[in-house]
Amino acid sequence: MEKQMTNWKSCFQPITTLPGVGPKRAEALAELGLASIYDLMSHFPFRYEDMQIRDIHSIADQEKVTLKGIVVTEPILSYYGHRKNRLYFRLAIGEAVIMVSFFNQPYLKNKVILGEEIILFGKWDEKRQTLMGIKIVGSQSNDEDHQQSFEAVYRANKGIKQKTIFQLIQKSFELYGEFIPDPLPRIMKEKRHLMGHSLAMKLMHFPTNPQAVQEARYQLIYQELFLYQLGLQELRKHRRSTKQGMVLRYDNQQLRGFIKTLPFELTDGQKKVLNEICYDLLAPYTMNRLLQGDVGSGKTVVATVAMVASALAGAQSCLMVPTELLAYQHHQSISKLVSNQNLVVAKLTGSTKTKERREILNQLASGKIDLLIGTHAVFQDDVTFHNLGLVIIDEQHRFGVKQRQKLTSKGEGVNILQMTATPIPRTLAITSFGEMDTSILSEAPKGRIPIKTHWVKEQEMDQVFQYVKREIDAGRQAYVISPLIEESETLDVKNAEEIYRMVSERFHNQVSVGLLHGRMKNDEKDQVMTDFQENKIQLLVSTTVIEVGVDVPNATVMVILDADRFGLAQLHQLRGRVGRGAHASTCVLIASPKTENGKERMKIMCDSTDGFYLSQKDLELRGSGDIFGVKQSGIPEFLLADIVRDYDILEEARYDAIEFVTQDYEKTELLEYFMKRQAKDMTEV
Ligand code: ADP
Ligand code: MG
Say whether 61 sits in a helix, a strand or coil: coil
Average pLDDT of the residues in 302-307: 98
CA angle 287, 290, 291 (to 5 degrees): 115
Q: Which of 301, 393, 572 has most ligand 1 atoms within 8 Å of its beta carbon, as the pocket-test mutant?
A: 301
Mean pLDDT of the chain: 88
Ligand nearest to the CA of 267: 1
CA–CA gap between residue 626 and residue 490 (Å, rounded): 27
Convert the pLDDT of each residue in 24-51 to its tens digit: 999 999 999 999 999 999 999 988 877 7
Give, in order, the Cα–Cα distances in Å from 339 to each of 267, 308, 334, 336, 349.
Answer: 22, 11, 8, 5, 21
Q: Name 164's bridge partners.
A: none
CA–CA gap between residue 288 and residue 415 (Å, rounded): 6
CA–CA gap between residue 277 and residue 298 (Å, rounded): 15
Convert the pLDDT of each residue in 514-533 to its tens digit: 999 988 888 888 889 889 99
CA–CA gap between residue 87 and residue 102 (Å, rounded): 5
Contact predicate 442/268, CB 8 Å: no
Q: How confident is the model at residue 489 (pLDDT cuts 50, 70, 90)?
A: confident
Q: Is the pLDDT of residue 9 over 90?
A: no
Closest to 461 measured CA to CA, from 606, 572, 561: 561
- Which residues contact residue 304 at a Cβ distance below 8 angstroms, ignoring those fewer than 6 apart? 334, 337, 338
* pLDDT at site 522: 82
* pLDDT at site 430: 66
Ligand nearest to the CA of 394: 2
* pLDDT at site 624: 58
CATH number of 452-608: 3.40.50.300
Average pLDDT of the residues in 310-326: 94
Q: Is the pLDDT of residue 183 over 80?
A: yes
> What residue type is assigned to position 307 of the chain?
M
Convert the pLDDT of each residue in 557-606 to its tens digit: 999 999 998 888 889 989 999 998 889 999 999 999 989 989 999 999 99
Dihedral pair phi/psi, residue 64, rounded to 5°:
-90, 120
Domain boundaries, the chain: 52-147, 252-441, 452-608
Q: Is the pLDDT of residue 4 over 60?
A: no
Q: Is the pLDDT of residue 511 over 70?
A: yes
Alpha helices in 206-323 (DSSP H): 210-241, 252-260, 268-282, 299-312
Q: Please state, for a pLDDT cut of 70, what percent of the chain lies above it.
A: 92
Closest to 425 measured CA to CA, from 289, 570, 617, 597: 617
Convert the pLDDT of each residue in 78-93 to its tens digit: 998 888 999 999 999 9
Q: Name 320's bridge partners.
A: 374, 393
Average pLDDT of the residues in 480-498: 82
CA–CA gap between residue 230 and residue 234 (Å, rounded): 6
Q: Is the pLDDT of residue 426 over 80?
A: no
Radius of gyration of the chain (CA): 32
Q: Is the pLDDT of residue 372 over 50?
A: yes
Average pLDDT of the residues in 368-386: 96
Q: Please state, for a pLDDT cut of 90, what percent of the chain lies above it.
A: 60
* pLDDT at site 631: 44
Closest to 388 measured CA to CA, from 399, 375, 379, 376: 379
Alpha helices in 47-103 (DSSP H): none
Q: Whose CA is nearest to atom 26 of ligand 1?
A: 445
Say whether 262 sits in a helix, a strand or coil: coil
- Measured in whole angstroms, how far is the alpha carbon of residue 449 from the centre of its chain? 31
Burial class (CB in 10 A: 0-12, 13-18, 19+), 348: buried
CATH fold match for the domains 52-147 and 452-608: no
C-alpha 626 to ligand 1 mean position (Å): 32
Ligand nearest to the CA of 445: 1
* Higher pLDDT among residues 131 and 235, named by residue: 131
Ranges 77-91, 198-212, 313-327, 539-553: which has the least confidence: 539-553
Name the CATH topology of 252-441: Rossmann fold (3.40.50)
C-alpha 246 to ligand 2 mean position (Å): 26
SS3 letters for 334-400?
A: HHHHCCCCCCCEEEECCCCCHHHHHHHHHHHHHCCCCEEEECHHHHCCCCCCCCEEEEEECCHHHCC
Contact predicate 499/480, CB 8 Å: yes
Strands of the sheet with 539-542, listed across from one edge: 452-456, 586-590, 555-560, 477-481, 539-542, 513-516
* pLDDT at site 573: 87
Residue 441 CA: nearest ligand 1 atom is 2
Ranges 272-276, 409-413, 453-457: which has the least confidence: 409-413
* pLDDT at site 683: 37
Q: Where does ligand 1 bind, in terms of residues with CB under 6 Å? A: 264, 266-267, 270, 293, 295-301, 421, 445, 551, 553, 580
Q: Whose CA is nearest to atom 18 of ligand 1?
A: 298
Q: Is the pLDDT of residue 146 over 80?
A: no
Say whether 410 sits in a helix, a strand or coil: coil
CA–CA gap between residue 604 and residue 564 (Å, rounded): 12
* CA dihedral for 159, 163, 167, 173, sign (positive or negative): positive
* CA dihedral for 576, 340, 350, 277, sign (positive or negative): negative
C-alpha 420 to ligand 2 mean position (Å): 8
Q: How confident is the model at residue 422 (pLDDT cuts 50, 70, 90)?
A: low
Per-residue burial over 223-254, b = 16 or more CB atoms within 10 Å of its CB, e = otherwise: bbbbbbbbbbbbebeebbeeeebbebebeeee
Is the CATH number of domain 52-147 1.10.1740.10?
A: no
Q: Is the pLDDT of residue 5 over 60?
A: no
C-alpha 377 to ligand 2 mean position (Å): 19
Q: Whose CA is nearest to atom 17 of ligand 1?
A: 298
Give all strands (DSSP E) within 561-668, no chain letters: 586-590
Contact predicate 483/541, CB 8 Å: no
* pLDDT at site 680: 64
Residue 297 CA: nearest ligand 1 atom is 2
Q: Is the pLDDT of residue 395 over 60?
A: yes
Convert the pLDDT of each residue in 596-650 to its tens digit: 989 999 999 999 988 878 877 887 777 655 544 444 445 667 889 887 788 889 8
